[in-house]
Amino acid sequence: MDWLGFIMQFQTAIVGLIGFSGVIAAQLLNGYLARKRDENLLASKRRATTEAVKAELMNAAEYFRRTSGMDGPKADELAYRARSRRTVTLSMMSEMGYVNTTSLTEVLSALAAIDAIDGNLSFVASDTNETHLAFDTAGWTIARRVFEKAAVQMEAAARLLKVDL
């Protein structure tokens, strides 16, 4: 039997093997491309989440730094300060595992500090409402130190975030 005879006799099997090999190759390529897509989506999600958390921390640090630098009240007056609120990361708590950091604990502690600071300062405030805290001279001295320490904590946590993915 020569080659031409062999090909004619088994042409269906040969075409089947070639076709099946093409299907296998296409599936392997699709799997590879799907993995690359998923890796890119994950990297993008990590980058976006990390950027959002870093922005929240830097905004809070700036707010606390600016507030701690404000003049305190004069005698028989009150100094008013707007309550601090997280705006970006409140809805992202379930995605904190995507944050690219060396210490997620410290980042989460800083975010929790933003939430807790107003409640804690309400004990030394002379007056409180839903939007502001008011401090007399003695309360402002304590609040200023708290704001300074909070700014340092926010900046330290923001430095732990790695955005260049």
Q: Cβ atoms within 10 A of the Cβ of 101, count?
A: 20
pLDDT digits (tens, 9 = 90+) for 65-115: 998 888 888 888 898 888 888 888 888 888 888 888 888 889 999 999 999
The model's pLDDT over 9-39, given as tens digits with 9 standing for 90+, comes to: 888 888 899 999 999 999 999 999 999 999 9
Q: How confident is the model at residue 152 (pLDDT cuts 50, 70, 90)?
A: very high
For the chain, which residues make up each domain, given as ranges? Answer: 46-160
Structural contact between residues 163 and 100, judged by C-beta atoms closer than 8 angstroms: yes
Answer yes or no: is pLDDT of 165 > 60. no
127 phi and psi, to 5 degrees?
A: -150, 145
Q: 0.85 exceeded by the pTM?
A: no
Best CA proximity match to 121, nearest among 68, 163, 165: 68
